[in-house]
């Protein structure tokens, strides 16, 4: 049995606002991260405002570890990736969040302890802190780039979860959305075409074949379920009934 994989720790250096620690904790919990480490927080700690923003993830704040220096905080980790704003002069590999998540997961898979390091709100990471990181992560943005700490943690957490997420890119709920069988579809085609014949919809008759083909293609393309096929057949029955009723009125 493989030992359970340990997700990366989120390490916040010199955070100025307790709110941002709380928002980070909430973001973490959404994406399965639980290990929070603070380096020399500049906000009071524990922080009421952090707990206010954590909403449901106070357990992560309770368990947060505090260290006075980056060297002590980072000591247990085998792979540390540091987030920076664009354009920092670092002679390190710069990863996208997606590539970083894959690297973190590959390391965690081998039993390594991993961490993502975030700098303070204003100045970011200092050069001493950066020197302890293996590589750098930069979040791609438009020209306007103004992500706060909680948002940066959110995006990294999201990519971490995505890096192992097996949700298919596109799906329908299998329990409620069984696609219609060919049997049901052919039943619909024949029912509809019979009523359209009766209504002399196909005109001129020479074009009937091509018109039928178009209508069938249109129906096929909409990816109906059994239930939807039944609904449409009910609509046809209802429309035909109303038409005959109308005709009767006209006739009388």
| Residues at the contact surface with a second copy, assessed by CB under 8 A | 26-27, 29-32, 55-57, 89-96, 98-99, 135, 138-142, 144-147, 151, 154-155, 158, 161-162, 165, 167-173, 176-177, 225, 227-228
DSSP string of 14-37?
S---HHHHHHHHHHHHHTT---EE
Both tokens assigned to 136: 């750098």
Helix (H) or strand (E) holding 64: none
CB-nearer residue toward a second copy: 49 or 162: 162
Cα separation of 59 and 74, whole Å?
A: 22
CB-nearer residue toward a second copy: 99 or 112: 99
Provide the 8-state DSSP code for 181: P
Nearest to 68 by CA among 35, 45, 34: 45
CB-nearer residue toward a second copy: 7 or 39: 7
CB-nearer residue toward a second copy: 68 or 174: 174
Distances (CA, A) of 246 to 55, 110, 148, 211: 61, 75, 65, 26
- Work out how close the CB of 18 gets to a second copy at its nearest, in angstroms, rounded to a whole number: 18
- Work out how close the CB of 140 gets to a second copy at its nearest, in angstroms, rounded to a whole number: 5
Nearest to 37 by CA among 66, 57, 14: 66
Cα separation of 183 and 166, whole Å?
A: 32
Q: CA 29 from chain center: how many Å?
A: 14
- Work out how close the CB of 150 gets to a second copy at its nearest, in angstroms, rounded to a whole number: 8
- Work out how close the CB of 125 gets to a second copy at its nearest, in angstroms, rounded to a whole number: 16
CB-nearer residue toward a second copy: 73 or 224: 224
CB-nearer residue toward a second copy: 73 or 101: 101
Helix (H) or strand (E) holding 118: strand 114-118
- Work out how close the CB of 52 gets to a second copy at its nearest, in angstroms, rounded to a whole number: 13
Cα separation of 190 and 188, whole Å?
A: 6
Q: Are 13 and 39 in contact (CB under 8 A)?
A: yes
Cα separation of 45 and 64, whole Å?
A: 10
- Work out how close the CB of 163 gets to a second copy at its nearest, in angstroms, rounded to a whole number: 11
CB-nearer residue toward a second copy: 70 or 155: 155
- Work out how close the CB of 31 gets to a second copy at its nearest, in angstroms, rounded to a whole number: 6
């Amino acid at each position: 049995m493989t030992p359970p994989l340990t997700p990366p720790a989120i390490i916040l250096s010199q955070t100025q606002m307790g709110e941002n620690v709380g928002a980070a904790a909430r973001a973490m919990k959404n994406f399965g991260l639980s290990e929070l480490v603070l380096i020399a927080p500049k906000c009071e700690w524990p922080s009421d405002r952090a707990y206010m923003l954590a909403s449901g993830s106070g357990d992560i704040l309770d368990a947060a570890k505090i260290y006075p220096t980056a060297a002590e905080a980072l000591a247990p980790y085998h792979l540390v990736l540091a987030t920076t704003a664009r354009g920092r002069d670092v002679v390190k590999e710069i990863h996208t969040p997606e590539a970083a998540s894959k690297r973190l997961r590959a390391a965690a898979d081998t039993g390594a302890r991993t961490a993502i390091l975030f700098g303070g709100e204003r100045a970011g990471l200092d050069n001493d802190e950066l020197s302890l990181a293996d590589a750098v992560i930069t979040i791609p943005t438009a020209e306007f780039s103004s992500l706060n700490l909680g948002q940066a943690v959110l995006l990294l957490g999201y990519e971490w979860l995505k890096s192992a997420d097996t949700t298919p890119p596109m799906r329908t709920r299998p329990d409620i959305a069984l696609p219609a069988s060919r049997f049901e579809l052919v039943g619909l085609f024949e029912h509809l075409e019979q009523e359209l014949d009766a209504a002399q919809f196909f005109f001129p008759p020479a074009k009937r074949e091509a018109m039928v083909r178009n209508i069938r293609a249109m129906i096929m393309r909409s990816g109906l379920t059994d239930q939807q096929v039944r609904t449409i057949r009910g609509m046809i029955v209802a429309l035909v009934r109303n038409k005959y009723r109308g005709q009767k009125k006209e006739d009388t």
